[in-house]
Structure 1
Amino acid sequence: MKKMVSSLLAVSAFGAGFAVTPAFAEDLSVVGSWSSLPLYKQYESPFWTETLPADSKGDINVQMTTHDQMGIGVGDVFRLLNDGVFDVAMTVGDYAVGDAPELEGLDVPLVASTAAEAQAMVDAARPMVDDIFAERFNSKVLAIAPYPPQVVFCAGEVNSLADLAGKKVRGSGRMTTKFLEALGANGVNVAFSEVPGALERGVIDCAVTGAGSGYSAGWWEVSDHLMTIPLGGWDPVVTAMNMDKWDSLNADQQAFIMDEIKGKFEAPAWASAANALKDDVACLTGNGDCPAGDPASMTLVEVSEADIAKAKDILTATVLPEWVERAGKDWVARWNDSVGATVGVTVPLD
């Protein structure tokens, strides 16, 4: 019943907000990620509402909204896509791990410190992710784009990784939360939009998200220390199309969409990620030029090599072995042979 109600609400939202398009065109109903964040504003919305329709010369019409504008919970996005409530949807892969724990392998913390390394990790995971979405969500993966590295915002002084022990910390995904707990912190599940209030009220002491996302959402107004160790990975956003809709397109349409999204959405999003952390840190701390607006004045916490080594030890000794129990040995063996081989990490299976 709950699933049915969610579907009806989503259909109502589309019906109320979208204009009728010509019957001869291919119409796509598209749900984007967070409407307030740079990935949506700079890449998702321009691609789907301007670039793709224009390049198709009117053969493809797009009706677009976002999950937060529709009032859909992030964990429901790919479930509703599976049901065919809309044609295309995109959200952070970590939001779907409750239905697909093997998907946690798309965004393992600490194994990629640069955009190039993160892209190599995602490229290695792509065949696995394709199969996960086909099996779990009846969907065709069209693209995987990054948020900036997921860093730590704290209300109160922190000087090292050890200072997170005993603190209440909002993680950006299940594996990040498991890592925080192994570190001695208390992992707390708080929705992204609720983090500023939780920090202000002391419900949580720290929270993990992308530096740019935290700047855009005003987290710097309720926190004062920024630790840039990538505890939350890169929070890749998966864009997928309902498989029934995909199969209804002809081969030329499918090829056109894949070429467009790879060259004019995925590639630019990854290219911008290369300098994103530097610019975002400048915006949050005032150390350097802020291209996004007025800079904040958070204290930047430099993480030591010893902290990074300690974090990776916890990851390999505790966090990844626990993942085997959730995902199963077959999926993790596949991860070892693809992503693990790329990042130099092997999860023990015995």
Structure 2
Amino acid sequence: MRLKHFAAAAAFTLTATSAFAQEVTLRFQHFVSPASANPTYFMQPWAEAIEEQSNGRIKVEIYPFMQLGGAAPSQYDLIRDGAIDGGWVIPGYQPNRFPEAEALELPFMTTKSAEEASAAAWDYTQRYLMDDFADVHVIAAHMHGRGVVHKIGAPVATLDDFSGLKLRGPSRTTTMLLERLGATPIGMPVPQFPEALSKGVVDGGVIPWEIAPSLKLGELTDSHTDVAGDYSLYNLYFIWAMNKNVYEGLPDDLRAVIDANSGLMASMWAGRGHDTGDIVGRDMIAAEGNLITQFSEAETDRIRALGEEVRQDWIAEMDAKGYDGAALVAAAQDAVAANTGVAD
């Protein structure tokens, strides 16, 4: 009988101790190389900060290349359904599902500073998108840096050079722009881009500098062209999110650790990582001897004018869907203006 009481007491003590010092492993997933900018300068440091600030009670495992299953466009649903605990989502990979997010992706909407654009993204997300993402827990919302045209062969130097080119685009608004420029847009997630280049499916495409080395664009393309000025040709909107039930099921003190590494600071942190990666990526491509050019101001103005036509088309589309398209564009512009100059 005394042994029974001892065993019961020991079991109670073990249970109480485990509950007090609960340890959690969170599995997050993304779809790019672990050597690319966001995993290197944001995801992994974020995971390390969570582990350190929780005194090791939260372990964050980061899985690249969709190693936990699924495809890049399905990331949001994988998180929502609990197939993974969290991950990196590009809402634009599911066209028309999150239409209000597209305002930030319109041509020449954001500055070329990803940190500034990401501060604007968090601002806009808080005002317009939290209902859209209500079935996950949003940790950060951010943008990448300047969008650049990468191409096999000679660079695009004028607007006319786009004519007939098959170019990869990451989102609906970007493919709208490419079509307006005279190209044949082919929408695809970034993991498919290298194979599409190598097989001649596309002549090039648009992505930021930071991802170019991990996709081996120094070998697969020959020229790289940016627009003139302070604003990016296009941009892409991301969220770093986790399963809502997993987040809400954490003990209060562990949830507080996640909260301390969320919001505006995390969004800017992610954007800053892209800015760092853009410098590194551009330098690596330049070292391979590829031609790096920039449209003249006059040609950039011609492209910008077509970008404005895309913006007006988008506003009309949104109005037809029951949204106030002009108000969404104005809100995105206000968020960008309010956060220009916030970068270190």
Tell me, yes or no, whether TM beats 0.5: yes
Indicate if the aligned counterparts of 1:33 and 1:40 stay in contact, CA closer than 8 A: no
Partner SS, residue 59 of structure 2:
strand
Matched, 1:242 2:234: no
Hey, what's the Cα distance between the residues in 1 that align with 2:248 and 2:165?
A: 49
Query: What code does the residue aligned with 1:112 have?
Result: T
From the superposition, tell whether residues 71 and 152 of structure 1 become closer, same or farther in structure 2 (CA, over 3 Å): farther
Change (3 A) 1:39 1:205: same
Aligned partners of 1:107, 1:141: CA distance in 2, in Å? 19
Question: Partners of 1:191 and 1:273 in 2: how far apart?
Answer: 18
Q: Which runs of 5+ in 2 are unaligned?
A: 1-17, 338-344
Q: Deviations over 1:255-290 (max 9, x none)?
A: 3212124587544333344455444322212xxxxx
User: Do the aligned partners of 2:109 and 2:234 also contact (CA within 8 Å) in 1?
Assistant: no
Which structure has the higher relative contact order (CA within 8 Å, separation 6+)? Answer: 2
Give the Å deviation of 1:225.
0.9
Whose radius of gyration is greater, 1 or 2? 2
Structure 1 residues 124, 76: closer, same or farther in 2, change over 3 A? same
Asked if 1:143 is matched to 2:143, the reply is no
1:146-157 to 2 correspondence within 5 Å? Answer: 146-157=143-154
- Distance change >3 Å, CA 106–CA 244, structure 1 → 2: farther
Aligned ranges 1:2-13 → 2 under 5 Å: none
| Preserved contact between residue 29 and residue 63 of structure 2 (Cα < 8 Å) | yes
The aligned residue for residue 288 of structure 2 is 296
1:330 to 304, 309, 323: 323
Q: Percent identity?
A: 23
Deviates more, 1:65-74 or 1:209-218: 65-74
Q: Where in structure 1 are there 5+ consecutive unaligned residues?
A: 1-21, 286-294, 345-350
- Work out the CA distance in 2 between the residues paired with 1:265 and 1:192: 23
Which residue of structure 1 lines up, in the alignment, with residue 67 of structure 2? Answer: 69
- CA separation of 1:105 and 1:32: change in aligned 2, threshold 3 A: same
- Matches of residues 1-350 of structure 1 in structure 2 within 5 Å? 24-36=22-34, 37-48=36-47, 50-66=48-64, 68-115=66-113, 117-127=116-126, 128-134=128-134, 138-157=135-154, 158-229=156-227, 230-233=232-235, 235-261=236-262, 265-274=266-275, 276-285=277-286, 295-322=287-314, 324-325=316-317, 328-330=321-323, 332=325, 334-343=327-336
Contact 1:35–1:66, Cα closer than 8 Å, also in 2:
yes
- The code of the aligned residue for 1:177 comes to T
SS at match of 1:226: strand
1:189 to partner: Cα distance:
2.5
* Inter-CA distance 279–86: structure 2 relative to 1 (3 Å threshold): closer
Any conservation in 1 of the 2:79–2:87 contact (CA below 8 Å)? yes
Displacement of 1:110: 1.8
Does the 8 A contact of 2:138 with 2:240 survive in 1? Answer: yes
Aligned length: 309
Q: Aligned pair in 2 of structure 1 residues 89, 46: CA closer, same or farther (>3 Å)? A: same
**What is the DSSP-based 3-state SS (H/G/I as helix, E as strand, rest coil) of the residue aligned with 1:132?**
coil
Q: Is the 8 A contact 2:30 2:87 kept in 1?
A: yes
User: Judging changes above 3 Å, is the alpha-carbon distance between structure 1 residues 124 and 329 closer, same or farther for their aligned structure 2 residues?
Assistant: farther
**SS in structure 1 of the partner of residue 206 of structure 2:** strand
Deviation (angstroms), 1:208: 1.0
User: In 2, are the aligned partners of 1:176 and 1:231 still within 8 Å (CA)?
Assistant: no
CA RMSD of aligned residues (A): 2.7
Give the 3-state SS of the residue equivalent to 2:132 in structure 1.
helix
**TM-score, normalised via structure 1 length:** 0.78
Task: Please tell me whether the aligned partners of residues 67 and 73 of structure 1 are also in contact (alpha carbons under 8 angstroms).
Answer: no
Q: Give 1:174 shift.
A: 1.4
Deviates more, 1:165-174 or 1:108-117: 108-117
Q: Please tell me whether the aligned partners of residues 27 and 62 of structure 2 are also in contact (alpha carbons under 8 angstroms).
A: yes
Cα deviation 1:111-163 (Å, max 9, x = unaligned) = 223215423431332212322211xxx11211124433221111021222321
SS in 2 for 1:130: coil
Partner SS for 2:107 = coil
Partner of 1:12: none
Contact 2:177–2:307 under 8 Å retained in 1: yes
* Alignment-derived partner of residue 15 in structure 1: none
